[in-house]
Structure 1
C-alpha cells in the first residue's frame, strides 16, 4: 500500500465532518493538486470521546461513497504503541507509531556498539547532495545519537511487527513519530535514525521528527522561519540520500505534526517540496474541532450559548485539560478572557477571537489553544453537542471545508 505524494491528516473527533473535510480535497483536485485525506484519531481521543476506530472508518467510507471520491484515502491509527494498537488493526490502514516516550530511555551498550560497527559510513565527513556543508561526525557523536534514539527505533520495530502479525500482512502505511518530545532532531541525527530504522526493516513511508521551533496546537509557528527553512530543506535532502543509501521505501517523506495553522512556514515548505520534487504529509487534526466551534458560534442562538459554555468549563478545568499537551501548547493564563466576559460577547466577537485568519484584532491565540485542548468538555456533553452539529450542519461544514482548503491545502499544494 503506497501513500501518494501529498497527503493531509484530518481529525474528525466527533465523527461529523468527514464529508466537509473530503470536500476540501475535492476542491484541491479541481484546482490541479492531488491531496489525499488520512483520517486520524488517537487512542487518547477515542477514550475521551467514548468512540471506536471502526466509527472513523465508517464515516470516511460513507463520505468517499457519497462524494464520489476515486483517489486513495486512509484511516490512521494515530500515536499507537504496543499497549494500544490492537483495537486499530481491523479498521486502519495507516499506523502512526509513536516512540517519543522511548527517546533517551535505557539502552543496551552492546547494541550501541553493534550499531556503530555496522555503520562506519556515518563517521567522518558525509556529503549529502544539495546540502551546502557536509555533515561532520566522529564515533563519539554517532554513539551519543544512538544512545538517544536506538531504543526508540527498536521499539518502533516491535510495534510494526506486532501490527503486521495481527493484520496478517504488511500492506499498510507505517509512520514513525518522534515529534512530541522536548528537543528537535537535527538533519544529521535524522540520518542516523533512518539508518537504524533500515536495520529494523521497518518500511516506513513517513517520518515525523521534532523540528526546531514551537509547533503549538492550533496556532502559528513560533521560531526562526529562516532556520526552519534551512532545516526542512536539509531534512528532505537527507531523506533522499537515506532512501538510496539504506534501501528505504522510495515513497518515504516528511510528516509535519501539529501542522495546522503554521501559516508562516507554509511558503518554505512549498518551496522546498518543489525544489526536491518531494512529498509531505501535513497533519491538521485539531483545527477541524475548532471550526466546529466557530460554526456553532457563527450560527448564533443556542449554538452560540453552547460554544460559550464549552469555553467556560474549559477555563475552569484548564490545568487538567492542558496537562497531556504540555509539549505542544503555550498558554498564558493572564491573557485568557474570563467566562463572564465571553458570555457577553456577540457571535462575531466569539468567532473573531477564535478564528485564526489574517490580522483580526480580536484574535486571541491563548483562547484558541485552550479551546483546542477543550474537546473533552464537548465530549462530556455527548448528544447535546452532536445534536448541535447536526442542527447547524451547513454553517459548520462550510467553515470546516474553507479552513482546510483555503488556509492549509491551498498555500502548500495548489499550483
Structure 2
C-alpha cells in the first residue's frame, strides 16, 4: 500500500463531519488538486467521547459510499502504541506509531555502535541542498542524537512488526510520530532519525516531527510563524535529501 503524494488528515472528533470533510476534498479535486483523505482519531480521543475505532471506520466508509468517492482513502489509528493498538487492527489501514514517550530511553552499547558505524560517514560538514549553511557533525553530536532517539525508533520498529504480523506488511501505511513533546527536533536530528528508521527496516511513508510553537485544535498556530516556516522548509529539504 502506497500513500499518494497529497493527503489530508481529517480528525472528526465527534463523528459528525465525514460528509462535509469529504465534500471539501471533492471541491479541491474539481479545482485540479487531488488530495486523499485520512480520517484520524486516537485512542485518547475515543476514550474522551466513548467512541470506538469501528465508529471512525464506519463513518469514513459511509461518507465514501454516499458521495461515490472512487479514489483511495485511509482510516488512521492515530498515536497508537503496543498497549493501545489492538482495537484498531481490524478498522484501520494507516497507523501512526507514537514513540514520543520513548525519546531518551536507554540503548545498548551494541545498538549505539551499529548506528555510529553508518552515521559516522557524515562527520564533518553536512551540506543539505537548499539549506544555506552546512551543519557541523561531530562524533559527540552523533552519540547525543543516538541516545535521544534510537530507543524511540527501536520501539517504532516493535510496533510496526506487531502490526505487520497481524495485517501483513502490504496492508497498511506506517507513520512515525515524535511530535507530542516539548522540544522540536532540529533538521540534523531529523536526518539521523530517518537513518535510524531505515536501519530498523521500518517502511515509514510519512513522519511527524515536533515543530516550534503550538498547534492547538480549533485555533490558530501559536508561535513564531517565520521560525516555523524555516523549520518546515528545512525539514522538507532534509527529507528530500535523505530519501
State the secondary structure of the residue aligned to 2:176: strand
What's 1:237 paired with? Answer: 237
Contact 1:79 1:98 in 2 (8 A): yes
SS in 2 for 1:95: strand
Structure 1, residues 301-339: CA drift from partner, whole Å, max 9, x if none? xxxxxxxxxxxxxxxxxxxxxxxxxxxxxxxxxxxxxxx
Structure 2 unmatched runs, 5+: none
Q: State whether residues 25 and 37 of structure 2, in contact with CA within 8 Å, keep that contact through their aligned partners in structure 1.
A: yes
Aligned twin of 1:46: 46
TM-score (structure 2 length as normaliser)? 0.96
CA distance in structure 1 between the partners assigned to 2:95 and 2:104 by the alignment? 23
TM-score calculated relative to the size of structure 1: 0.57
- RCO higher in 1 or 2 (8 Å CA, sep ≥ 6)? 1
Determine the structure 2 residue equivalent to 1:179. Answer: 179
Instruction: Give the equivalent residue in structure 1 for 2:84.
Output: 84
Q: Which residue of 2 aligns with 1:336?
A: none
Query: Structure 1: which 5+ runs fail to align?
Result: 244-415
2:206 is the counterpart of 1:206: yes
State the 1:154 CA deviation. 0.5
Bigger shift: residues 121-130 or 106-115: 106-115
1:317 equivalent in structure 2:
none
Q: Take 1:191 and 1:118, find their aligned partners in 2: how far apart are those partners?
A: 13
Partner of 1:6: 6
Is the deviation greater in 152-161 or in 30-39?
30-39
Query: In the alignment, what sits opposite 2:133?
Result: 133
Q: Would you say the 8 A contact 2:98–2:156 is kept in 1?
A: yes
Aligned to 1:31: 31
- Inter-partner Cα distance in structure 1 for 2:75 and 2:234: 30
1:349-372 deviations in Å (ceiling 9; x for gaps): xxxxxxxxxxxxxxxxxxxxxxxx
Structural mapping, 1:116-131, within 5 Å? 116-131=116-131
Q: Are 1:103 and 2:103 an aligned pair? A: yes
How do residues 248-259 of structure 1 correspond to structure 2 at under 5 angstroms? Answer: none
Q: How does 1:49-60 map to 2 (within 5 A)?
A: 49-60=49-60
Q: Distance in 1 between matches of 2:63 and 2:230?
A: 38
**Distance in structure 2 (CA, Å) of the matches to 1:19 and 1:215:** 24
Runs of 4 or more above 3 Å deviation: none
1:341-380 matched pairs, under 5 angstroms: none
Whole-angstrom CA distance in 1 between matches of 2:128 and 2:171: 31
RMSD: 1.3
SS of match in other structure, 1:217 = coil
Residue 110 of structure 1: CA displacement?
2.9
2:145 equivalent in structure 1: 145
Written as runs of structure 1 = structure 2, the 5 A alignment for 1:388-407 is none
Q: Deviations over 1:42-87 (max 9, x none)?
A: 1112222222211211111111111011111100000000011111
1:219-259 Cα distance to aligned partner (Å, 9 max, x none): 2222222222221111111001110xxxxxxxxxxxxxxxx
Cα drift, residue 36 of structure 1:
1.3
Q: CA deviation at 1:113?
A: 2.3
- The answer (yes or no) to whether the contact 1:99–1:177 under 8 Å persists in 2 is yes
Task: Note if contact 1:122-1:142 (Cα within 8 Å) is conserved in structure 2.
Answer: no
Q: Deviations over 1:115-171 (max 9, x none)?
A: 112322232111111111111110000100110000000000000000000113333
Between 1:192-201 and 1:130-139, the stretch displaced more is 130-139
Number of residue pairs matched?
A: 243
Report the Cα offset of residue 14 of structure 1.
Answer: 2.5
Following superposition, the deviation at residue 90 of structure 1 comes to: 1.2
Distance 2:78 2:202 in 1: 17
- Taking the aligned partners of 2:170 and 2:100, their CA distance within structure 1 comes to 23
Per-residue Cα deviation, 1:265-299 (whole angstroms, up to 9, x for no partner): xxxxxxxxxxxxxxxxxxxxxxxxxxxxxxxxxxx
Structure number with higher helix proportion: 1
Matched residues in 2 for 1:6 and 1:226: separation?
24
Aligned to 1:216: 216
Partner of 1:167: 167
Deviation track 1:164-209 (CA, whole Å, cap 9, x = no partner) reads 0011333311100100001000000000100000001111111000
Task: Please tell me whether Structure 1 or Structure 2 has the larger radius of gyration of its CA atoms.
Answer: 1
